[in-house]
Amino acid sequence: MDVRKRNNVQLDGAGETTIVFAHGFGCDHNMWRLFAPGFASRYRIVLFDLVGSGGSDLTAYDRGRYGSLHAHADDVLQIIDEFATTPVIFVGHSVSATIGMLAAIKAPGRFAANVMVGPSPSFINDGEYVGGFERADIEELLETLEDNYLGWSSTMAPAIMGAPDQPELAKELTNSFCRTDPDIAKHFARVTFLSDHRADLLRVSTPTLIIQSNDDVLAPVSVGGYMHNAIAGSTLAMVDNVGHCPHISAPGPSMVATEDFLRKLAV
């Protein structure tokens, strides 16, 4: 298996410690272009695409294997084994924040820190847990995606990006969604939006930073608070941002929160 080809791994930066960046649904590693370079002078940078996304090897996407987020977590561990020699700092956006968490639970010794940008362990409301959507809402969203993926992309991408004062970012995310293989996107969307990893939060031992936008249509403020309370010793950083992608629409504050967190850990 050629891990570099499978996940379109890109390397940059210099340093003893490696930061691994992982993108969210419908995106690719280019979504870190405003964030990752700020760390390249002190850290080794590893960027990659989830299998099925961006420039990854689409032939490697097996619906049986990738029927849960655990397969992507296994890919992350293989990338770390291949391109890092010391425990890494993992920075994951949205679904990749959960993927990184699962990888760290499986192999905690390979992780020095976990930065979760706009994470959600479950998008579906359940009793006192407010994930942001009723089950019927998610099912309707997935049905719309199945029937008209391009139409869904053009409607959902602007809502997900937010950033009303930066309309070019919504257009960029729409184009990213539209470049994604529709069949793979439909499958991965179902895996992403129907997964529930709330119980796994209690198993986290890696130092964790949660970066939460104060206005996020996919991951409301209540989700950040829930995760902060569930992950022992975690840090919650609220960013003044409209949208689910603060690393793109508010990279400065997101980087400051990350820098402060890493400085306290001395990594």
Q: Give pLDDT tens digits for 154-188.
A: 999 999 999 999 999 999 999 999 899 999 999 99
| Spatial strand order in the sheet of 10-13 | 10-13, 44-48, 18-22, 88-93, 111-117, 208-215, 235-242
The predicted pLDDT at position 160 comes to: 94
What architecture (CATH level 2) is domain 3-265? 3-Layer(aba) Sandwich (3.40)
**Residue-wise pLDDT tens digits, 247-266:** 999 999 999 999 999 999 99
3 and 78 Cβ atoms separated by less than 8 Å? yes
The predicted pLDDT at position 91 comes to: 98
The predicted pLDDT at position 87 comes to: 98
The predicted pLDDT at position 49 comes to: 98
pTM: 0.97
Q: One-letter amino acid identity for 22?
A: A
Q: Tell me the C-alpha distance between 252 and 249, whole Å.
A: 9
Q: Tell me the C-alpha distance between 13 and 30, whole Å.
A: 16
| Mean of per-residue pLDDT scores for the chain | 96
Catalytic residue numbers read 94, 216, 244
Q: Tell me the C-alpha distance between 100 and 105, whole Å.
A: 9
Instruction: Report the pLDDT averaged over residues 209-236.
Output: 97
Confidence tier at 31 by pLDDT (50, 70, 90): very high
The predicted pLDDT at position 56 comes to: 98
71-77 long-range contacts (CB < 8 A, ≥24 apart) are: 72/96, 72/99, 73/99, 73/100, 73/102, 73/103, 73/106, 74/103, 74/106, 75/3, 75/6, 75/7, 75/50, 75/51, 76/20, 76/22, 76/100, 76/103, 77/103, 77/106, 77/107, 77/110
The predicted pLDDT at position 1 comes to: 77
Count CB atoms within 10 A of the CB of residue 11: 12
Hey, what's the torsion of the CAs at 17, 18, 24, 25, to 10 degrees?
-150
The predicted pLDDT at position 72 comes to: 98
**Residue-wise pLDDT tens digits, 102-151:** 999 999 999 999 999 999 999 999 999 999 999 999 999 999 999 999 99
Whose CA is closest to 56, among 3, 105, 132?
3
The predicted pLDDT at position 66 comes to: 98
The predicted pLDDT at position 132 comes to: 96
22 and 90 Cβ atoms separated by less than 8 Å? yes
The predicted pLDDT at position 233 comes to: 97
Instruction: Report the pLDDT averaged over residues 70-91.
Output: 98
